[in-house]
Amino acid sequence: MATHIAPSILSADFTRLGDQIAEAEAGGADWIHVDVMDGHFVPNITIGPLVVAAAKRASRLPLDVHLMIENPDRYLGDFIEAGATWLTVHQETCPHLHRTVQKIRELGARPGVAVNPSTPVETLIDILPFIDLVLVMTVNPGFGGQRFIEACLAKVARLSRQLEGRGLQHIAIEVDGGIDPTTAPRAVAAGASVLVAGSAVFGQGSITDNIGAIRRSLAIQV
């Protein structure tokens, strides 16, 4: 699939969330990424279903909801009802991952599974046929604005080869953390098809220019 850019609203100005999402949509964003954190699986606490429902009303773009929470099974229904198009759970939080992803699909969303930098993508081999997206964390989850972990590029490349070898190229490979015009083309060269960017989109400067800069960086050979 053509490379998608998914701005993460974690770095948006929450006093103007609707406007910022609308600007991202007009500026060429493909999905809106929503980071849900519970203060248990990750140190930070962020967004719940109420804000997802508000984001849904602000845009027609697919909402890409990234659950960084323990026991996500309890909340799948709430986030899907709130408007999640894609719903991603962490491998590290799901002892019955197959049941969890089946439930996500049954409830009407597209299932994704995320892995932390220390979790090998090889742990996902047996779940791949049941999911539509793998999210490779390129920082440790919990905060925006962290530095891209270089070693994660090799994981993206390994995953990409696994998908090719198994005829599963329809599964999206999403990278999340430290994505900017320097790291984006390298992640795509390794096999990523969805780029999450928080601070590089909603930080300094205009949202439209920032999305444009990431898009233009993809034309550069790395």
Segment contacting ligand DX5 by CB under 6 A, of 24-32, 153-161, 172-180, 211-219: 172-180
Q: How far apart are the first and last CA of the chain?
A: 20
**5-64 binders of ligand DX5 (CB under 6 A):** 8, 10-11, 33, 35
- Rounded Cα–Cα distance for residues 45 and 127 (Å): 28
In the annotation, is 13 catalytic?
Answer: no
The answer to whether residue 93 forms part of the interface with ligand DX5 (CB under 6 A) is: no
Please say which residue, 56 or 66, places its beta carbon nearer to ligand DX5: 66
Alpha helices, H only, the chain: 17-26, 49-58, 76-82, 97-106, 152-165, 183-190, 199-202, 207-217
Binder among 27, 49, 111, 177 for ligand DX5 (CB under 6 A): 177
Give the CB-nearest residue to ligand DX5.
Answer: 198
Pull the structure tokens for residue 83: 């408007």
Extract the runs of DSSP E, i.e. beta strands, from 103-169. Answer: 110-115, 133-137
Q: Which residues bind ligand DX5 (CB under 6 A)?
A: 8, 10-11, 33, 35, 66, 139, 141-142, 144-146, 176-179, 196-200
Which residues are known to be catalytic? Answer: 35, 176
